[in-house]
């Protein structure tokens, strides 16, 4: 059976890391290792990670990281990963149930693709889970989908991730979008109707959503190349940012 590397990064989020590790410990029917990358923390997060590594019956690695960014930390996890596939489940985020990773791994094993994309839901928000229908994903279909997915619900083939050297540090907030689009463009992808991840709200990308759309446009321009695609991307990005600004102004006026 194939092995999955579950990469978890954390910094000053002891409670979130505990929740994430508890959900990982409940997984069934799949071989996995856990790679923890923990930044300098003052709240005991590192101690939670050390205890898990010392007591877990699973293969696990702890990397204590000096001050750096999120994608640098995720790249450290990629370098240490020994599994055939990789999924990122960062502190505060959880697997939705004990069997979802096994179902993802079966799909990756049975299809000649670079990534499997499942569904997710943001905890505490009044919204329906983001679960698509089963379908092959073209680069354009992924690139221009308002709810294309999140890395916590994506299982990547390790060779595909390492083919591109992990996350590009050209992006501060949308490197996960960029890497996934590159993988789909080269190795293909599949979306499946399985709820995989429960996402903690208030992430860094949520706080800088306008910049996210600017970076996504840059990524699409670099990867899709064709002039009509670049123009469509520019219009798409402009419309998305305009909608966000109008929504924010409406809330401000209403309050």
CA dihedral angle for residue 183, residue 186, residue 188, residue 189, rounded to 10 degrees: 10
Asked if residues 173 and 126 have their Cβ atoms less than 8 Å apart, the reply is no
Q: Write b or e for each residue in 145-175: b if 16 or more Cβ atoms lie within 10 A of its Cβ, otherwise e.
A: eeebbbbbbbbbbbebbeeeebbbeebebbb
Q: Count structural domains, the chain.
A: 1
Mind listing the pLDDT tens digit for each residue in 240-251?
Answer: 777 766 655 434
Flag whether 115 is in a domain.
yes
Mind listing the pLDDT tens digit for each residue in 43-91?
Answer: 999 999 999 999 987 889 999 887 678 999 999 999 999 999 999 999 9
Q: What is the pLDDT, as a whole number, of residue 174?
A: 93
What single string gives the DSSP state of each residue in 52-119? Answer: HHHH-SS-EEEEEE-S--HHHHHHHHHHH--SSEEEE--TT-EESSSSHHHHHHHHHHHSS-SEEEEE
Asked if residues 117 and 194 have their Cβ atoms less than 8 Å apart, the reply is no
Q: What is the pLDDT, as a whole number, of residue 254?
A: 40
Asked if residues 73 and 37 have their Cβ atoms less than 8 Å apart, the reply is yes
Asked if residues 58 and 83 have their Cβ atoms less than 8 Å apart, the reply is no
In whole angstroms, what is the distance from residue 196 CA to residue 35 CA? Answer: 19
Flag whether 209 is in a domain.
no
Flag whether 122 is in a domain.
yes
Flag whether 247 is in a domain.
no
Flag whether 90 is in a domain.
yes
Flag whether 242 is in a domain.
no
**% residues pLDDT > 70 (the chain):** 90
Q: CATH no. for residue 74?
A: 3.90.550.10
Flag whether 82 is in a domain.
yes
Show pLDDT as tens, one digit a residue, over the chain (255 residues).
689 999 999 999 999 999 999 999 999 999 999 999 999 898 999 999 999 999 987 889 999 887 678 999 999 999 999 999 999 999 999 999 999 999 999 999 999 999 999 999 998 765 678 888 899 999 999 998 877 789 999 999 999 999 999 999 999 999 999 999 999 999 999 999 999 999 998 766 555 678 888 899 899 999 998 767 778 787 877 777 777 666 554 344 444
Q: What is the pLDDT, as a whole number, of residue 253?
A: 40
Q: What is the pLDDT, as a whole number, of residue 149?
A: 83
Flag whether 67 is in a domain.
yes
Q: Could you identify the residue written with the tokens 């009509």?
A: 228
* Residue 50 structural domain: 3-202
Q: At how many degrees (to 10) do helices 14-25 and 45-55 cross?
A: 20
Which residues face 64 on adjacent strands? Answer: 38
């Amino acid at each position: 059976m194939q092995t999955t590397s579950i990469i978890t990064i954390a910094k000053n989020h002891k409670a979130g890391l505990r929740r994430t590790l508890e959900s990982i410990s409940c997984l069934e029917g799949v071989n996995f290792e856990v790679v923890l990358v923990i930044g300098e923390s003052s709240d005991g997060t590192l101690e939670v990670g050390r205890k898990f590594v010392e007591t877990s019956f699973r293969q696990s690695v702890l990397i204590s990281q000096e001050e750096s960014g999120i994608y640098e930390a995720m790249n450290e996890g990629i370098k240490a990963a020994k599994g055939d596939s990789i999924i990122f489940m960062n502190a505060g985020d959880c697997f939705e149930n004990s069997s979802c990773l096994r179902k993802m791994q079966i799909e990756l094993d049975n299809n000649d693709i670079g990534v499997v994309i499942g569904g997710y839901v943001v905890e505490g928000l009044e919204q329906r889970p983001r679960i698509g229908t089963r379908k092959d994903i073209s680069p354009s279909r992924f690139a221009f989908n308002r709810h294309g997915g999140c890395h916590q619900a994506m299982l990547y083939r390790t060779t595909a991730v390492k083919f591109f050297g992990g996350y590009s540090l050209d992006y501060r907030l949308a490197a996960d979008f960029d890497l996934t689009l590159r993988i789909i463009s080269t190795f293909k992808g599949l979306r499946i109707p399985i709820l995989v991840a429960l996402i903690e709200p208030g992430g860094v990308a949520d706080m800088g959503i306008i910049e996210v759309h600017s970076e996504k446009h840059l990524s699409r321009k670099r990867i899709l190349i064709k002039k009509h695609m670049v123009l469509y991307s520019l219009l798409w990005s402009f419309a998305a940012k305009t909608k966000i600004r109008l929504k924010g102004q409406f809330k401000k006026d209403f309050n």
